[in-house]
């Protein structure tokens, strides 16, 4: 008999894999097993990937749209000009207000000199000053009105919708465009009440996004379940950007406190009464094949977590079970 030792590392097992000569042309592989006091199960919860911000934006004043500079799908930068209203009336009013302010300023300066010389009363001076302040406020008013004829992007984003065309007369409540955040996304996942305690705020959790895996930070949890539901909404944020609307799954790892052993599925044979059996190599000096009965507690990928009569250090035979007979020596 020839024994080859090497380390076998998988998601669940860290043991020593050995090879025994079963026939002249065939090697039999065994695995030294180790008992675990608990096991983890993975649960996939579907969710929705949404932009961190999503806004329908509008002008603050009534007017006729003279220009729209973007369309659906365009990427825009924060403060970029997206659309304009016809500002001819506002410009005319602003020019008049500036002219009145210049005149009021001249009168105020002249009255200030006259007051110092005692040629006018304090009441006349105060009236000139009041007219100057009113003219100044009118200029500021029309400057604000002019700024309100320009629609700017509130943040970096993508144009999701365009609701009107150039030439449309709108009021301040009409949405013009819809914009989605282009820098950050968040996942909305419904978490069953019995799994809520498995989440901790600020911890990272694994998501499957299409064919990729990414970490999302758990930010907050809805304080109550939605009406008629036993789930609560959980919000996760990502440091990387993903296209909103992508198919996602949250992978939650749940630890179960139960003693057992992880085994590759190819080491199991179906037995009676819903139980399973494994073959082990004894350490009686003759390498006798023995049969142990186990119960499967949990499946994960190509492994099973089992309970039964196995113990630390047992050598479990992997594969080739159809040629194994209980009691034979290797």
CATH of the domain at 141: 2.40.50.100
Residues 49 and 194 both lie in one domain = yes
- The domain containing residue 211 runs over which residues? 44-53+181-256
Tell me: do 80 and 163 sit in the same domain: yes
Identify the domain boundary among 180, 202, 235: 180
Using alpha carbons, select from 158, 151, 148 the residue that is nearest to residue 53.
158
pLDDT tens-digit series, residues 202-238? 999 999 998 889 999 999 998 887 776 788 999 999 9
- Whether 22 has a pLDDT exceeding 50, the answer reads no
Task: Kindly tell me if the per-residue pLDDT of 183 is higher than 50.
Answer: yes
In a domain, 31, yes or no: yes
Per-residue pLDDT at 9 exceeds 80:
no
Same domain, 61 and 172: yes
Backbone conformation region of residue 300, classed left if phi is above 0, alpha if psi is from -120 to 50, else beta:
beta
In the predicted model, is pLDDT for residue 158 greater than 70? yes
Closest CA to 235 of 185, 189, 296: 189
What is the structure's pLDDT at 6? 32
Task: Return the axis-axis angle of helices 122-147 and 88-116, rounded to nearest 10°.
Answer: 160
User: Does residue 30 sit in the same domain as residue 120?
Assistant: no
Instruction: Give the per-residue pLDDT at 16.
Output: 47
Q: What is the mean pLDDT of residues 268-272?
A: 82
On whether both 59 and 171 belong to a single domain, the answer is: yes
328 found inside a domain? no
Q: So what's the pLDDT on residue 26?
A: 52
Q: How confident is the model at residue 286 (pLDDT cuts 50, 70, 90)?
A: confident
246-258 residue pLDDT tens:
889 999 988 888 9
Q: Where is 253: in which H helix or E strand?
A: strand 247-256
Chosen domain end from 237, 256, 275: 256
* Residues 174, 104 share a domain: yes
Least confident of 268-272, 276-280, 321-325: 321-325
Of 180, 205, 224, at which residue does a domain stop? Answer: 180
Q: Where are the alpha helices (DSSP H) in the chain?
A: 88-116, 122-147
Establish if 97 belongs to a structural domain: yes
| Whether 24 and 86 share a structural domain | no
Task: Give the mean pLDDT of 288-300.
Answer: 88
Q: DSSP assignment of 223-268, as one string?
A: SSPPTT-SEEEEEEE-SS---TT-EEEEEEEEEE---BEEEEGGG-
Give me the CATH number covering residue 280: 2.40.420.20
- Whether 224 is covered by a domain: the verdict is yes
Does residue 330 lie within any of the structural domains? no
Residue 329 is assigned to a structural domain of this protein: no
Q: Are residues 146 and 228 in the same domain?
A: no
Mean pLDDT of the residues in the chain: 86
Encode pLDDT of 112-155 as tens digits.
888 888 888 889 889 999 999 999 999 999 999 999 999 999 99
Choose from 21-25, 55-59, 182-186, 309-313 the range with maximum mean pLDDT: 55-59
Same structural domain, 130 and 214: no
Whether residue 105 contacts residue 111, with contact meaning beta carbons closer than 8 Å, is answered with no
Structural domain includes residue 25: yes
> Is there a single domain that holds both residue 278 and residue 206?
no
235, 157: one domain? no
pLDDT for 249: 94
Q: Which residue has the tokens 């509008």?
A: 58
Decide if 132 is inside a domain.
Answer: yes
The number of distinct structural domains making up the chain is 3
CB–CB of 300/316 below 8 Å?
no
Residue 234, both tokens: 């959980």
- One-character DSSP codes across 192-210: EGGGGGG--TT-EEEEEET
What percent of the chain stands above pLDDT 90? Answer: 51
| Same domain membership, residue 120 and residue 32 | no
């Amino acid at each position: 008999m020839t024994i080859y030792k090497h380390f076998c590392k998988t998601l669940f097992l860290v043991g020593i894999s050995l090879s025994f000569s079963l026939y002249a042309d065939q090697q039999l592989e065994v695995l030294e097993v180790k008992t675990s006091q608990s096991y983890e199960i993975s649960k996939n919860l579907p969710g929705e990937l949404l932009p961190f911000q999503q806004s329908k934006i509008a002008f603050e004043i009534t007017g006729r749209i003279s220009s729209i500079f973007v369309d659906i799908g365009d990427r825009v930068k924060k403060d970029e000009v997206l659309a304009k209203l016809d500002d001819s009336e506002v410009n005319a009013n602003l020019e008049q207000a500036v002219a009145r302010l210049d005149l009021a300023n001249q009168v105020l300066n002249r009255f200030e000199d006259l007051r110092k010389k005692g040629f006018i009363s304090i009441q006349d001076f105060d009236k000139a000053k009041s007219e100057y302040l009113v003219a100044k406020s009118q200029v500021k008013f029309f400057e604000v009105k002019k700024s309100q004829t320009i629609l700017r992007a509130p943040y970096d984003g993508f144009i999701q919708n365009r609701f009107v065309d150039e030439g449309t007369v709108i009021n301040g409540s009409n949405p013009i465009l819809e914009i989605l955040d282009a820098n950050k996304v968040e996942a909305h996942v419904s978490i069953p009440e019995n799994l809520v305690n498995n989440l901790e705020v600020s911890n990272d959790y694994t998501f499957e996004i299409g064919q990729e895996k990414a970490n999302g930070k758990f930010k907050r949890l809805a304080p109550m379940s939605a009406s008629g539901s036993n789930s609560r909404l959980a919000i996760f944020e990502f440091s990387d950007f993903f296209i909103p609307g992508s198919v996602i799954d949250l992978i939650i790892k749940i630890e179960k406190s139960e003693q057992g052993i992880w085994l590759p599925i190819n080491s199991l044979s179906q037995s009676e009464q819903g139980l399973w059996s494994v073959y082990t190599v004894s350490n009686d000096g003759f390498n006798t094949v023995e049969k142990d009965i186990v119960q499967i507690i949990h499946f994960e990928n190509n492994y099973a977590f089992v309970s039964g009569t196995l113990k630390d250090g047992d050598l479990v035979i992997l594969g080739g079970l159809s040629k194994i007979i209980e009691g034979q020596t290797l």
